[in-house]
Amino acid sequence: MSAAIRVALAVLAVWLGIALALPALPLAPDTVDLARILAAPGDGSLLGFDEVGRPVGDRVIVGARTSLLVAVTVVALAGTLGTLAGALAAYVGGGVDRALTAVIDVFMAFPGLLLAIALAGVMGPGLDNLVVALAAVGWVGYARLARAQTLSLRRREHVLAAQALGAGTLRILRLHLLPLMAGPLIIEATFGLAGAVLAEAGLSFLGIGVQPPAASWGSMIREGVRYMLVAPHLVVVPGLVLSAVVLATNLVGDWLRDRLDVRGRPATGRRTT
């Protein structure tokens, strides 16, 4: 394991630890101190204060939990829906598979972030609608992957044997197909976490995600842009944290892809002549 992967895992561990320990931390993210409006880091707070005198550090920590909650929920919903739809359609085949392929093509015709913006705009701002919008867009990648994996696995000997023994479709999917495609799906989910964190920040930056006074890295950057020249820490701090989390997640995803991709590994234990 390289040093970069160790650092990435440490960043993700800190992100997860802070998010889980948040209720026990002595934070005051919404406390206003008018005497410290736009105060620089070190002036009573490690990371300074924002435009209404709230501690930036406390709000960054609260934003960590928001981003983790959104990312995990979106990946869980999108991954479950997309995997089941793709695997079931590919296994059944026929009209069901063609219908799913047509739906996927329609979703793929639009940029994912723009479609999420449109859905969030129609449903209205808020955390719940943000999760629904991102999940409604993100399921397509899992469906495509699960469909491709199922098409390559459904003619395996153990699957044909289960069919001959009278096993039902759901049982075959649960016991014989999903375990074999778990590796690629885990890799897809890892990259999906990074994409969900970035999408949540982007939608919150546009004002259709997490709403004030709730803290979000994207909304913190949006609020700090107007004070960029006099208080750059309002943008730099949440921006660096967001970049670190997304970069760490992508690095771990690349590492998992290398570890779980058996096709890319050199053969061992074979005798050569």
Instruction: Please give, one letter per residue, the 3-state secondary structure of 3-15.
Output: HHHHHHHHHHHHH
pLDDT at 90: 86
For the ranges 98-102, 140-144, 261-265, the lowest mean pLDDT is seen at 261-265
Nearest in space to 203 (alpha carbons), one of 109, 105, 132, 253: 132
* Residue of 209, 191, 187 lying closest to 70 (CA atoms): 209
What does the pLDDT read at residue 243? 93
pLDDT of residue 261: 66
Burial of 262 from C-beta contacts in 10 A (0-12 / 13-18 / 19+): exposed
Place of tokens 């999760």: 131
Task: Indicate the burial class of 3 (C-beta count within 10 angstroms; 0-12, 13-18, 19 or more).
Answer: exposed
Over the stretch 157-172, which tens digit does the pLDDT of each residue have?
777 787 787 777 778 7
CA angle 75, 79, 80 (to 5 degrees): 120
* Average pLDDT value for residue range 241-252: 93
Mean pLDDT of the chain: 84
How far from the centroid of its chain's Cα atoms is residue 108's Cα?
18
The percentage of residues in the chain with a pLDDT greater than 70, rounded to a whole number, is 95
**114's tokens:** 């723009």
Q: What residues have CB less than 8 Å from 76, skipping those under 6 apart?
A: none
The SS3 assignment for 75 reads helix
Q: Which residue has the higher pLDDT, 29 or 251?
A: 251
pLDDT for residue 72 is more than 90: yes
Domains of the chain: 3-22+47-262 (1.10.3720.10)
Q: What is the pLDDT of residues 159-211, one digit of tens each?
A: 778 778 777 777 877 788 888 888 888 888 999 999 999 989 988 888 888 88
